[in-house]
Amino acid sequence: MGIAEKEKEIIEEFELFGDDWEGKYEHLIELGKSLPLIDTTLKTDDRLIQGCQSRVWLRSEYNEGRMEFTADSDAIITKGMVALMVRVLSGESPEEIVKARLEFVDQIGLKQHLSPTRANGLVSMINRMKQEAVSHLKH
Amino acid sequence: MPDIETIRAQFPILSQKVNGHALVYFDNGATAQKPRRVIDAISEYYTSSNANIHRGVHSLSQKATGLFEASRKTIASHFNIAHEQQIIFTSGTTDSINKVAIGLSKNYLKPGDEIILSAYEHHSNILPWQLWAQENGGVLNVIPLLPDQTLDYTAYENLFSEKTKLVALAHVSNTLGVVADVGRIKAIADRHSVPVLLDGAQSAPHMNIDLHALNVDFFVCSAHKMYGPTGMGLLYLSEKWLEELPLAHTGGGTIKTVSFEKTEYAEGALRLEPGTPHIAGAVGFAAAIDFMSTVGMAALFDHESKLSQLAQKRLLEIQEVSVYAQSHHKAGVISFNVKGHHPFDVGTLLDKYGIAVRTGHHCTQPLMRHLGVQGTVRISFAAYNTEAEVEFFADKLKKVIKMLG
C-alpha cells in the first residue's frame, strides 16, 4: 500500500466519527497507545526532537530502498499523531516520502496539531523524517 | 465590586465561542483580556490626539504630552507614589529588569558580588542577572523552597554575605501563585543595607500594591497582565535610584543639552525614557488602571481568592490530580498535574471545550526541575472569571482524564 492509499484509509477511519471530536480524539489516543514502544536505550538525545512541551523521539532505518520509522512521545495526543505519520511514511521509498504532502491531516480535522505555533515537536518530526529520507535519495 | 455580569459585559472578547463552547479564559497569568475602555482609549488616542510628545509647540503635541503625563500620574497614584517621576515607562517587566540589570552592572555591581533570587523566579528575573554574573564573575544565590513550595525565609537570611548587593524576587510566583512576604524580605535586606527589586508581573494584576508602604528600591510590572496593552510596562525607582541608576539605553528625549563632547541629562523619568515612548500604550495602561479601580483591588483579590479556593477544592476531589503549593496565601494562580498524563494532553483536550489554560514550564525551568516534572497545567484568574466557569472546568477536566484513560 502506498502513501496515498494509506492516507485514504486513515481518512475513512476518521470519517466514521463525523463531528464527534471526542470520539476522534479517543481514537487518536488509542493509536498513540498502540504505537510500538521504543526501547528506552534508543531514546537518546540524537533521536530527540524537542518541542517546547512534548518530546518526540524518532528512529529511522533504511533497508532495500525503503525507510522504516519508529517513534515515541511523552504526550499521548502527540504520540497518536506520531503514530499516523509513522503509519503513512514507514515502508515507503525516500522519493515518495520527500514528495508526501500529508494533506490527510487537514481532512481528518487535526491540522491544528501541525500549525507552527503548536509546541508539540510534530512539525520538526516530519521535517526530520523527510531529511532522513533525503539522505537516502538515489541521485 | 460591580456584579460579575457588568464586568463581563465590558470585555468584548468574552462573548466569542471557541470550538463551539463559550470561551473560558483561565490563562490570565499569561495575559489578561482588555475591557472596552482600554480598547477605546487607545483607539481614541490615535483618532484624535496622536502627536509626538514633549517639546512640541503645536496644540496636538501638547494634548498628547498631557495625556501621556496624566497617565503617569494615574499609575503613580494607583501604586501610592506621590512623585510620579518615579514611574518609568518601559516595554514590560522583562525590559524593566534588563534596564536595572544593565544599569547596576555599570558601576554598582562588582566582580565577585552576589545577588539573591528565589527558586521560583521567572526566566526574565534570572537571565539578566545570570548574564551579568557570567560576564563579571558574579554569583547568584538562590532562596530554596520549603516542602509546601513557599520561600524558606531562614535560608534566605543565611544567604546574605558582605558581597550581597541585591535581592531580586518575584512578588507572586507566576507558576505557583505563592505570595512572598515582602515585609519580611525587606526587613532582612535592610539589615544588610541591600536594595530589593520586586518583580510584580504577577502581583500587580491581583492585589493592592502600596509602593510607599512596601518601600522597595525597584518594582516592575507589565500592563498587559493588568487588562492593559502589550508592549507597555513600568519600572518604579526609589528617589535614590531615580537619580543614580546608570543608563542602559540613551537617546533623544533624555537630555537638557548635547554637544559632541558632553551631554547634560534631564532629571526624573525622562532621563530613562529614550526615544519616542509607547504613548498609546501609556494611555491604555491608565485606562486599565481606571478599570481596576472600578472593580477595587481588595474586592478583586477576594473574588480571585474565592475562585482559587473553589478550584483547588474541586481539583483535590479528583483522585488523579496533584496541586502544587496548596498554601492559603495565593494570588489567583493554581498549578496542577494529572497523574500519568502529560500537561500538554490535558491542555489540548480542555481547549476542545473552549477552556484556555497554560501548560508547560511557564518560563520557570529551575522550578520544574525542583518539582521533578516536565511541566504543569496552570489556571489563573481575573476579574471576569466566575464560579460557574470553575465548575465547568472541573467537570470537563474529569471528562478529559477519562478520555486519556
Q: What ipTM did this prediction achieve?
A: 0.89
Residue A119 pLDDT: 61
- Closest-CA residue of A relative to B374 is A53
Pick left, alpha or beta for residue B253 (phi over 0 → left; psi -120 to 50 → alpha; otherwise beta): left
Residue A116 pLDDT: 66
Name the nearest CA neighbour of B356 among B307, B383, B392. Answer: B392
Counting residues of chain B whose pLDDT is more than 70, the rounded percentage is 100
Tens digit of each residue's pLDDT (9 = 90 or more) over A12-27: 999 999 889 999 999 9
Asked if B367 contacts B175 with a C-beta cutoff of 8 angstroms, the reply is yes
- Pick the range with the lowest mean pLDDT from A108-112, B143-147, B228-232, B259-263: A108-112
- Asked if residue A1 has pLDDT above 90, the reply is no
Average pLDDT of the segment spanning B290-318:
97
Q: How far is CA B372 from CA A64, A107, B119, B339, B367, in A?
A: 44, 39, 13, 13, 8
SS3 content of chain A, % helix, strand, coil (to 5): 55, 15, 30
Give the mean pLDDT of chain B.
96
- Identify the band that residue B369 occupies on the pLDDT scale cut at 50, 70 and 90: very high
Q: Is the dihedral of CA B76, B80, B81, B82 positive or negative?
A: positive
Residue A138 pLDDT: 74
- Asked if residue B235 has pLDDT above 90, the reply is yes
- Helix H segments across chain A? 3-15, 21-34, 76-89, 94-99, 104-107, 122-134
**Run of H or E residues at B349:** helix B343-352
Compute the half-sphere exposure of residue B212: CA atoms within 13 Å on the CB side of its CA. Answer: 9
Asked if A122 contacts A72 with a C-beta cutoff of 8 angstroms, the reply is no
Q: Is the dihedral of CA B293, B296, B297, B300 positive or negative?
A: negative
Residue B236 pLDDT: 98
Contacts of A77 in chain B (CB under 8 A): 344-345, 348-349
- Identify the band that residue B298 occupies on the pLDDT scale cut at 50, 70 and 90: very high
CA-based R_g, chain A, Å: 14
- Asked if residue B319 has pLDDT above 80, the reply is yes
Residue B239 pLDDT: 96
Q: How far is CA B321 from CA A112, B142, B147, B182, B372, in A?
A: 27, 29, 18, 31, 16
Q: Is the dihedral of CA B312, B318, B319, B322 positive or negative?
A: negative
Q: Is the dihedral of CA A33, A34, A40, A42 positive or negative?
A: negative
- Asked if residue A139 has pLDDT above 70, the reply is no
Residue B56 pLDDT: 83
Contact residues for B363 (Cβ-Cβ < 8 A; gap 6+) = B122, B123, B124, B174
Contact residues for B63 (Cβ-Cβ < 8 A; gap 6+) = B49, B51
Exposed / middle / buried, residue A23 (Cβ in 10 Å: 0-12, 13-18, 19+): middle
Query: How many beta carbons lie within 10 A of that of residue A97, not counting itself?
Result: 25
Q: Which three cell numbers stand for residue B106?
A: 555599570
Average pLDDT of the segment spanning B157-168:
98
Residue A52 pLDDT: 66
Contacts of A53 in chain B (CB under 8 A): 342-344, 359-360, 374-375
Residue B329 pLDDT: 80
- Identify the band that residue B96 occupies on the pLDDT scale cut at 50, 70 and 90: very high
At B228 the three-state DSSP class reads: coil
- Asked if residue A7 has pLDDT above 80, the reply is yes
Contacts of B353 in chain A (CB under 8 A): none
Residue in the block written with cell 533497508: A63
Instruction: Report helix angle A76-89 to A3-15, nearest 10.
Output: 140
Residue A30 pLDDT: 95
- Closest-CA residue of A relative to B19 is A21
B344/chain A closest Cα distance in angstroms: 7
Measured distance CA(A94)–CA(A63) in Å, rounded: 11
- Identify the band that residue A90 occupies on the pLDDT scale cut at 50, 70 and 90: very high
- Identify the band that residue A42 occupies on the pLDDT scale cut at 50, 70 and 90: confident
Tens digit of each residue's pLDDT (9 = 90 or more) over B326-343: 987 888 999 999 999 999
Measured distance CA(A97)–CA(B260) in Å, rounded: 63
SS3 content of chain B, % helix, strand, coil (to 5): 45, 20, 35
- Asked if residue A111 has pLDDT above 90, the reply is no
Residue A38 pLDDT: 79
A16, A52, A134, A137: which one is catalytic? A52
Residue A124 pLDDT: 84
- Least CB–CB distance from A29: residue in B343, B352, B404: B404
Q: How far is CA B108 from CA A45, B101, B105, in A?
A: 42, 10, 6
- Closest-CA residue of A relative to B403 is A26
Residue A118 pLDDT: 59
Contact A54 B404 (CB under 8 A): no
Name the nearest CA neighbour of B384 among B25, B18, B21. Answer: B25
Residue B50 contacts A, CB cutoff 8 Å? no
Predicted TM-score (pTM) of this structure: 0.93
More confident residue, A56 or B396: B396
